[in-house]
Chains A and B, each alone.
Chain A
Amino acid sequence: MPLTDMPDFAAAILEEFAARGTTRVDTPVIQPAAPFLDMAGEDLRRRIFLTENERGASLCLRPEFTIPVCLRHIETATGTPKRYAYLGQVFRQRREGESEFYQAGIEDLGDRNAASADARVVVDALSCLTKILPGRGLAVTIGDQAVFEAVVAALGLPAGWQKRLVRAFGQTDLLEAMIARLARPQPVTGLSPAVEALLEAGDEAALVAHVEAEMERTGYLTNASRSPAEIVRRLKEKRLLAGASLDTAKLDALKEFLSINVSLRYAPGVLADFARSAGLPLEQAIAGFDARVAAFANAGASLADITWRAAFGRPLDYYTGLVFEITARGDHDVLAGGGRYDRMLTLLGAKDHIPAVGFALWLDRIEKARETSR
């Protein structure tokens, strides 16, 4: 059955949002499509409802709220910190479920204390769910990109490799393929003898001149997006990457880290043990992680209900730290999903760096869970 009306528990959610010190905002259903495609990538195109206006501008039906809420925040320029709440229809083609459904959520912008803001939104989400699913046990899974980044940095790989691994974080197959590749170095091939000689000689200026002359000759220079200097810089970096590899001990450490899946009660101990046994300097990341665990406890979350899965991440470049999902205990349907997206507002055009964390509730799945609870 399509949801033709708001779910009957919508009022309860809005009440909870208001009680938790948020400002309700609404955004137009019809949105410019570019920000969504820029942020989430072309893969989203298949799943959103696109149309064009008379002038040929690409528009879409709102596929989610975070981007419109952030854009609105930037436009209205009302300063931070701000806690926004929303509840409304979103439109997305999904494998399962209707393609128009309700989402509600909170976007918490501008709080400089990441640990307490992280804990606050998870508790926001938990208390909404507890209110509308009374008596149901809830399970929270968290991931932390910052810890993964710290582990990768501590392994001593070149910056380019670190970026590759971080980019693959959360995509198991891709990450495994990269780890396999890291077991053995691969030389750079396919360069002309002239370029090889210039690289060997380390003559960067001559190499840039060579690339520029070639661009000029082929008529490519006028509109070239990547400049000769950029190409040469990356060519040198790539040589460095190609030679890089990890010894067995470090590879095993990386794999061991990614296999960590532990209750948050024991997570600080497990992480500290891992750092010690692998011999990796992770003090700063551990301090950040522990501060968040403490903040969870302070905010009244039950640590026994939260699991840290080290390999859990989202492959989008605006996520930076915490990610989380909440399910009903013993069920797979994700009822709430969220995370920290500190890079998004700058990418959307904000002049200042605005830390941000938030979550969305999937009201259709919650409705299903309410029915099975009855």
Chain B
Amino acid sequence: MTITIGLPSKGRMKDDASAIFARAGMLISAIGNERSYRGRIEGVDDVEIAFLSASEISREIGNGTVDFGVTGEDLIREELSDADRRMEISARLGFGHADVVVAVPDIWLDVESMADLGDVAADFRARHGRRLAIATKYWRLTQQHFSAQHGIQLYRIVESLGATEGAPAAGQADIIVDITSTGSTLVANHLKVLSDGVILRSEACLVRAKKPEHEGNATVARIVEAVRGVL
């Protein structure tokens, strides 16, 4: 059986992932030219590398078309329903740190926690004729955090695929759910994170698609062990 590993196809994520694999004794090279989207591990025949975009890696893990992937936990949990049944985080890789957070305008002096936000959301329609609007690209994580964890049902999601931090000032939404690594973009846009508003502390992970044929497979075990060994 050939084991396929999905790796980020460009940028910091690609470099950092390759570096970890190299440290773990798995030197990755592209097949053909440098820009090729297929790769191999030197000296290993039964492993294939597929270079994919980070969000594609989550989807392919969900479909089981790749066996392993390196991607952010935020993308995995956003892309996959019932994520823990379908995948396993084999290792946290220590780079690509970012928190998915609930942030509200700084000037909402009365809102420090999700409970406060629940109060505001409950009255919002009566006061403003519409539900509280949240700008985000994280539909699933937002729903889980608001609906399942904090019992807040009454809000609407406004899809935002970029510059989400600007949505409240631009009047597109009231608050946001977005990733932040240093928090400086939030501060620059006069937003603050709620005290219990961290939905997920994400980082790049080596993720394995849960497949029955992985049971007892030596290559699978060796990859996990090698990566864990250098962290």
Contacts and interface: CB of A to CB of B under 8 A. Distances in A.
B115 A226 contact: no
Contacts, number: 100
B220 to A, nearest CB: 31
A315 B112 contact: no
Interface stretch (A35-43, A127-135, A136-144): A35-43
Contacts of B21: none
Interface in B139-195: 139-140, 142-143, 146-148, 150-151, 153-157, 168-171, 174, 190, 195
Contact of A163 (B106, B122, B169): B122
Contact of A191 (B109, B140, B171): B109
Contact of B131 (A38, A167, A174, A237): A38
Interface of A: prevailing SS: helix
Interface in B109-157: 109-110, 112, 115-116, 118-120, 122, 125, 127-128, 130-131, 139-140, 142-143, 146-148, 150-151, 153-157
B105 interface: yes
- Give the most central of B81, B108, B112, B151: most A CB within 10 Å: B151
A171 B152 CA distance: 11
B109 A211 contact: yes
Interface in A202-218: 211, 214-215, 218
Interface residues of B, number: 40
B4 to A, nearest CB: 29
Contacts of A191: 109
Contacts of B139: 42, 45
A195 B130 CA distance: 29
B119 A164 contact: yes
B153 A316 contact: yes
A226 B109 contact: no
B107 interface: yes
Nearest to A218: B190
A60 interface: no
A283 interface: no
Interface in A1-60: 37-38, 40-43, 45-46
A220 B190 contact: yes
A300 interface: no
Nearest to A181: B115
Contacts of A258: none
B110 A231 contact: yes
A277 interface: no
A42 B143 contact: yes
A234 interface: yes
Given A222-B171, A226-B120, A238-B116, A43 B131 contact: no
A42 B157 CA distance: 7
A62 B153 CA distance: 20
Contacts of B190: 218, 220
A191 B106 CA distance: 11
Contacts of A225: 128, 171, 174
A317 interface: yes
Given A195-B109, A218-B106, A231-B107, A40 B119 contact: no
A164 B113 CA distance: 14
14 contacts: A41-B153, A41-B154, A43-B153, A163-B119, A164-B118, A167-B122, A167-B151, A191-B109, A214-B107, A218-B190, A219-B169, A224-B105, A238-B119, A347-B125
Given A43-B153, A315-B151, 11 more contacts: A41-B153, A43-B147, A45-B157, A189-B112, A190-B112, A211-B107, A214-B107, A223-B168, A230-B127, A234-B119, A315-B153
